[in-house]
Amino acid sequence: MSAQPVRSGPEFDRRVAQYVARIERTIAKHEFAVQGVFPTVEDTMRRKAEGRPVPAPFAYTIGMTGKGLPELAVSGLDQETMAVILNLAGEVHQVNEILVGSELPLPLMTEVRMRIIDAPEIVAGIAQAVYPDSDLQFRQVVWPDDDGRYPGEPGHDAKTFRQDIFGGKRWWLP
């Protein structure tokens, strides 16, 4: 049986403080950082055994709050793709705030039109550690399926193109 990771106590606090300092250095150098969040193997197995859904991986920016902007998040893709999306969207967001309801064309392998929604239910512990006195705001970058349909639209392929939606006005169809 493998040992459970330590999630409290002085050693944990020291490691979290070191990680937060690293994120703060990244923000100082690059204006924002991207933080990935992925379910652990243990959490995945436990949830499946309990018949509960396993959350999709997600990533979010840290650093927009310091500029008076909402942070950005994306869900359901691999780590590298989410980082590319957030880096591209973050560059745009810093120059011209990305508003809820807008579409954002991103030059990935082909141009993909992302939609932006509010994301009030996201849990972003590292961002909260960097900005402990802030009321963090998030906007989610939502991506379409292969046929260009977004979550909530008729015919959207939610099984193949699964992404968790982080609350708020859940289906924001125009």
The model carries a pTM of 0.85
Helix (H) or strand (E) holding 94: helix 79-95
Q: Would residue 23 count as lying in a domain?
A: yes
Q: Would residue 70 count as lying in a domain?
A: yes
**159 contacts 151 by C-beta, under 8 angstroms:** no
Closest CA to 58 of 78, 40, 85, 43: 78
Binned at pLDDT 50, 70 and 90, residue 153 comes out as: confident
**79 contacts 36 by C-beta, under 8 angstroms:** yes
Count of structural domains, the chain:
1
Domain span including residue 112: 10-142
Quick: pLDDT tens for 57-116: 999 999 999 999 999 999 999 999 999 999 999 999 999 998 888 888 877 656 677 888
Three-state SS across 27-87?
HHHHCCEEEEECCCHHHHHHHHHCCCCCCCCEEEEECCHHHCCCEEEEECCCHHHHHHHHH
Q: Would residue 159 count as lying in a domain?
A: no
Q: How far is the C-alpha of 90 from the C-alpha of 96, rounded, in Å?
A: 10
**DSSP bridge partners of 113:** 105
Q: Would residue 101 count as lying in a domain?
A: yes
Q: Would residue 155 count as lying in a domain?
A: no
Quick: pLDDT tens for 19-70: 999 999 999 999 999 999 988 888 889 989 999 888 889 999 999 999 999 9
Q: Would residue 3 count as lying in a domain?
A: no
pLDDT for the residue numbered 88 = 92
Binned at pLDDT 50, 70 and 90, residue 4 comes out as: low
Q: Would residue 74 count as lying in a domain?
A: yes
Q: How far is the C-alpha of 136 from the C-alpha of 62, rounded, in Å?
A: 10
Q: Would residue 135 count as lying in a domain?
A: yes
